[in-house]
Amino acid sequence: MSSHLNWMIIRNNNAFLVKKRNIKKPFSKEPNNVTNLNSFKFNGLIHKKAVSVVEIPNRSGFTVVYKKAKATNKPTKNLVRRQFKAGARRSLFKVKKLLKANNYRTDLCKATLRRASAILRSQRPIKAKKPKAAAA
Residue 3: name the closest of 53, 52, 39, 28 by CA: 39
**Buried (b) or exposed (e) across 37-73, using 16+ Cβ within 10 A?**
ebeeebbbbbbebbbbbbbeeeeebbbbbbbeeeeee
- 95 and 64 Cβ atoms separated by less than 8 Å: yes
pLDDT of 92-132, one tens digit each? 999 999 999 988 888 889 999 999 999 999 998 888 888 88
Please tell me the predicted confidence (pLDDT) of residue 105.
85
pLDDT of residue 25: 87
Q: Helix 88-101 vs helix 109-122: angle between axes, to the nearest 10 degrees?
A: 160
Mean predicted confidence (pLDDT) in 10-25: 90
* Res 131: pLDDT: 85
What pLDDT sits at residue 136? 61
Domains and CATH numbers, the chain: 3-122 (3.30.390.110)
Mean pLDDT of 33-48: 91
Residue 23 has pLDDT above 80, yes or no: yes
**73-83 pLDDT per residue, tens:** 888 889 999 99
pLDDT of 71: 84
Give 28's strand partners.
17
Backbone phi, psi, residue 106, to 5°:
-70, -25
Tell me the average pLDDT of the chain: 89
State pTM to two decimals: 0.83
Is 89 exposed, middle or buried (CB count within 10 Å of its CB: 0-12, 13-18, 19+)?
A: exposed
